Amino acid sequence: MDFQLTEEQLAVQAAARDFAQNELWAGVIERDEHQKFPAEQIKKMGELGFMGMMVSPEYGGGGMDTVSYVLAMEEISKVDASCSVIMSVNNSLVCWGLEQYGNEEQKRKYLPRLASGEIIGAFCLSEPEAGSDATMQRTTAEDKGDHYLLNGTKNWITNGSSASVYLVVAQTNPELKHRGINVLIVDKDTPGFVVGLKENKLGIRGSDTHSLMFTDVKVPKENRIGEDGFGFKFAMQVLAGGRIGIAAQALGIASGAFELSLKYSKERKAFGVEISKHQAIQFKLADMATTIDAARLLCLQAANDKDQHLDYAKSGAMAKLFASKTAMDTAVEAVQIHGGYGFVKEFHVERMMRDAKITQIYEGTSEIQKIVISRELLK
Ligand code: CAA
Ligand code: FAD
C-alpha cells in the first residue's frame, strides 16, 4: 500500500475541505436544530462531483477511486455528518450497486441523474423486525410473470422522502430463504408506495429517515437487479463497500471534533494558563490524535483493498468498527475539553457527539462488524 496520496487525491481532498468549510459550516447548527434537509447543499455537492464520485465517466460520474471517496467523506463529515450520510448512501450503496450489478438499460436510465445529484437514491433493506438479522425479510415481491407485486414495510430509510429512486430488498421465494430474495428498483411515483413519517433523531438530524410502505406496488420485471434470487448477495456486497464510506464518516466526525478541541485548548485559560498546558488535556489530545490516525489508516487500507480488487469485507468491517468507536470516544472527550461550552450548541462538539453514535449502529452495528470480522478470520 502506497502511503503517499496522488496529486489527484490531494486535489479531491482540498476541494471537499473548501466546500465543507465554505458552504456547510455556516448553516449546520440550524439544519441540525430544525431537522432541515440540506437540499441546496446536496445540489452543489452534485455539481462538484461528490454524489457519484466512483461512477465511471461513461455514466456521468467522476471515475474516482475509493481512496479519493474516503478523503472526501472525511472532509465533509468533519463539518456536517448529515450531508455525508446522504452522500454515502448515494455513492456507495445506490450508485455503486447499480453500476456493478445493474444491466445497461438500468445504468443508462438512473446513473447519470444520480451521479450529478439531480436526483438521489435510497437503499432499503431494514424492516421493523429485520435489522441485524437481515435475511428475515418480511417484505414480499411476488412473481406475477411480467412484474413483481411488492408488499411490506421498510424502516429507517435514509433519504426516505428526498430520494427519487429506491433499491428495495424483498423476499420472492421464502422456501429458498436468503437465496429467494430479490432487489428491485422502485420509482417514487409508483402507485401503492407511501413514505411514512420522518423520524425525530438524536443525531444526523439534517438527513431524513423514514419508514416506507408498499401495498400491491407493481414493479416491472426489468427493474430487478441481477438474476432471480441475487438480492441478498447484492445487499451484502453493497454493504461491504458502504461500510468503508461510513468508516470515513466516523473518521471525519472524530477529526472534526479533535480539530475544534485542539484550537479551543490553546485559547481557553484556567488556573492562569491555557488548558493545553495541563497534562490531563495534553493526554486527551494525544489519545485522540493517535486513534484518529489509526482509524484513517484502516479506512485507507480498506479503500485500497477495494481499489486493488482484493477482498475488503474484513478490512471494511475493521475500519468501521474502529473508526466508529474513535468517533464516539473522541467526540465525548471533545465535549469534556470544552467544559460547559461543550454542552451548548454554538460550539459544535455536542452535535458531533450526537452524530457519532449512529456510526456504531447503521450499515451493521459494531456487534455485526465483529461477526463479519471473526467469520473472515475463522473461515
Ligand atoms: N459478499 C457476498 N455475499 C455475502 C457476503 C459478502 N460480503 N456476506 C455474506 N454473504 C452471503 C453468504 O455467502 C451467504 O450466501 P450463500 O448461503 O448463498 O453462500 C448469504 O450471504 C448469507 O450469509 P450468512 O449465512 O453469513 O448470513 P447471516 O444470516 O448469518 O447474516 C450478516 C450475515 C453479516 C449478519 C448480515 O445479516 C448483515 O450484514 N447484517 C447487518 C445488516 C446491515 O448491515 N444493514 C444495514 C442496512 S443499510 C444502512 O444501514 C444504510 C445506512 O444506515 C446509511
Ligand atoms: P437489532 O438488529 O434489533 O439489534 C439490537 C441490538 O442487538 C444491537 O446492539 C445489535 O448489535 C445486537 N445484536 C443483534 N444481533 C446480534 C448478534 N447476532 N450478536 C450480537 N449482538 C446482536 N437501513 C437501511 O436498510 N437503509 C438505510 O438507509 C438505513 N438508514 C438508517 C439511518 C438511521 C438514522 C438509523 C437509526 C438506521 C438506519 N438503517 C437503515 C437501519 C440500520 O441499518 C439498523 O438500525 C441496524 O442494522 C440495526 O438493526 P436494528 O435497529 O433492527 O437493531
Of 86, 94, 186, 361, which is best to mutate to test ligand 2, by the most ligand atoms within 8 angstroms of its C-beta? 361
How far is residue 347's CA from residue 223's CA, in Å, rounded to a whole number? Answer: 46
ipTM value of the model?
Answer: 0.99
Q: Nearest C-alpha to atom 12 of ligand 1 is from which residue? A: 233
Q: What is the mean pLDDT of residues 184-210?
A: 98
The CB of 365 under 6 Å from ligand 2? The reply is yes
User: Looking at 118, 129, 363, 376, which residue is catalytic?
Assistant: 363
pLDDT at 130: 97
Closest CA to 5 of 229, 304, 371, 364: 304
Of 204, 355, 362, 372, which is best to mutate to test ligand 2, by the most ligand atoms within 8 angstroms of its C-beta? 362
Average per-residue pLDDT for the chain: 98
Check residue 144 and report its DSSP letter: -
From ligand 2's centre to the CA of 364, what distance in Å? Answer: 6
At residue 195 the predicted structure's pLDDT band, cuts being 50, 70 and 90, is very high
Cell of 144: 406475477
Helix (H) and strand (E) counts in the chain: 12, 9
Q: What is the mean pLDDT of residues 184-205?
A: 98
From ligand 2's centre to the CA of 158, what distance in Å? Answer: 13
How far is residue 291's CA from residue 323's CA, in Å, rounded to a whole number? Answer: 8
Cell of 166: 429506491
How far apart, in Å, are the Cα atoms of 186 and each of 92, 190, 220, 259, 260? 18, 7, 9, 41, 42
Length of the chain (residues): 379
Which-ligand-closest: CA of 178?
Answer: 1
- Indicate if the alpha-carbon torsion angle 195, 199, 203, 206 is positive or negative: positive
Q: Would you give the distance in Å from CA 288 to the centre of its chain?
A: 22
Strands 181-187 and 165-171: antiparallel
pLDDT at 3: 83
How far is residue 342's CA from residue 348's CA, in Å, rounded to a whole number? Answer: 8
pLDDT at 340: 98
314 CB neighbour count, 10 Å cutoff: 19
Residue 345 has pLDDT above 90, yes or no: yes
pLDDT at 184: 98
Specify the amino acid at residue 266. Answer: K
Residue 164, classed as helix, strand or coil, is: coil
What are the helix (H) ranges across 28-123?
Answer: 28-33, 39-47, 66-79, 81-88, 96-101, 104-115
Tell me the longest C-alpha to C-alpha distance in the chain.
78
109 CB neighbour count, 10 Å cutoff: 17
From ligand 1's centre to the CA of 361, what distance in Å? Answer: 15
How far is residue 125's CA from residue 5's CA, in Å, rounded to a whole number? Answer: 35
Closest CA to 251 of 69, 89, 94: 69
From ligand 1's centre to the CA of 294, what distance in Å? Answer: 26
Please name the helix (run of DSSP H) or strand (run of DSSP E) that holds residue 281, with its range, or none: helix 279-307
Query: Exposure of 17 by Cβ count < 10 A (0-12 exposed, 13-18 middle, 19+ buried)?
Result: middle
Closest CA to 247 of 199, 305, 205: 305
Q: Do residues 109 and 258 lie in contact, with contact meaning Cβ atoms separated by under 8 Å? A: no
pLDDT at 105: 98
366 CB neighbour count, 10 Å cutoff: 16
Q: What is the percentage of the chain residues whose pLDDT exceeds 90?
A: 99
From ligand 1's centre to the CA of 182, what distance in Å? Answer: 14
Give residue-wise pLDDT tens across range 28-84. Answer: 999 999 999 999 999 999 999 999 999 999 999 999 999 999 999 999 999 999 999
Give residue-wise pLDDT tens across range 94-127. Answer: 999 999 999 999 999 999 999 999 999 999 999 9
Name the residue with cell 485559547: 267
Residue 369 has pLDDT above 80, yes or no: yes
107 CB neighbour count, 10 Å cutoff: 20
Query: Exposure of 143 by Cβ count < 10 A (0-12 exposed, 13-18 middle, 19+ buried)?
Result: middle
Cell of 42: 446536496
Phi and psi at 92, nearest 5°, equal -90, -20
The CB of 124 under 6 Å from ligand 2? The reply is yes
Is residue 363 annotated as part of the catalytic site, yes or no?
Answer: yes
Specify the amino acid at residue 175. Answer: E
Which residues, 6+ apart, have CB-to-CB distance to 202 below 8 Å? Answer: 354, 357, 358
At residue 2 the predicted structure's pLDDT band, cuts being 50, 70 and 90, is confident
From ligand 2's centre to the CA of 155, what distance in Å? Answer: 10
Of 32, 86, 88, 156, which is best to mutate to test ligand 2, by the most ligand atoms within 8 angstroms of its C-beta? 156
Cell of 227: 438474476
Give residue-wise pLDDT tens across range 145-170. Answer: 999 999 999 999 999 999 999 999 99
pLDDT at 222: 98
Query: Pocket residues for ligand 1 (CB within 6 Å)?
Result: 85, 89, 123, 125-126, 132, 134-135, 158, 178-179, 232-233, 236-237, 239-240, 313, 362-364, 368, 371-372
